[in-house]
Amino acid sequence: MQTITVAHGYNTDIGVTVRDSEVNWDETELPAVSVFEGKVMPEPNADNLTFCTRLMPVMIRVAFKRKDDTALDAKYARHCIQDILKAVGTDKTFDKLAMTTNPGEHGIEYADAQNLEITGASVEIIIGYHSQKFNLEA
């Protein structure tokens, strides 16, 4: 995520500030990216008693300063989504740590259903990896 900058050919500079599971950003840090791990689900694998394939959803959330123009905020949010998907697509195996990476849901984030104030964007990816069934460190 940290390579997402205009200098690296992306539309935005959201990669300047990237943190694990951050929810409380100071406005001076924006735009910023938070990466959240979802619930990992092992795929059934009766043939192998030692290893299994796991599917881990990862939500990548971008927070940014509003421009007080909904159309510009929406355009910026779409550029953030595009940049994240482009960045993930450059190395779908995360330097051979993952077997597969697939896109999940993505969209513009709003303050709430009543107030459609744009607050950011989010992208979900599903990472498939192989590990020992009962030892996540191996």
In order of 17, 24, 46, 118, 130, the CA distances from 20 in angstroms are 10, 12, 34, 22, 22
Domain membership of residue 67 (yes or no) is yes
Domain membership of residue 137 (yes or no) is no
Domain membership of residue 138 (yes or no) is no
pLDDT exceeds cutoff 90 at 136: no
pLDDT digits 0-9 by tens, 38-78: 999 988 776 667 788 899 999 999 999 988 888 999 999 99
Domain membership of residue 17 (yes or no) is yes
Domain membership of residue 20 (yes or no) is yes
Task: Tell the burial category of 66 from Cβ atoms under 10 Å away from its Cβ (0-12, 13-18, 19+).
Answer: middle
Q: Give the domain extent around 71.
A: 6-132
pLDDT value at residue 53: 86
pLDDT value at residue 47: 67
pLDDT exceeds cutoff 70 at 3: yes
User: pLDDT above 90 covers what percent of the chain?
Assistant: 62
Domain membership of residue 108 (yes or no) is yes
pLDDT value at residue 85: 96
Domain total of the chain = 1
Answer yes or no: pTM beyond 0.85: yes
From first CA to last CA, the distance across the chain in angstroms is 25
Domain membership of residue 12 (yes or no) is yes
- Alpha helix (H) ranges present in the chain? 70-89
Over residues 125-132, the mean pLDDT reads 90
118 backbone φψ class: left, alpha, beta (φ>0; ψ -120 to 50) = beta
Taking the C-alpha atoms of residue 107 and residue 89, their distance in angstroms, rounded to an integer, is: 18
pLDDT digits 0-9 by tens, 78-105: 999 999 999 999 888 788 888 899 999 9
pLDDT exceeds cutoff 70 at 133: yes
The domain spanning residue 52 has which CATH number?
Answer: 3.30.70.1700
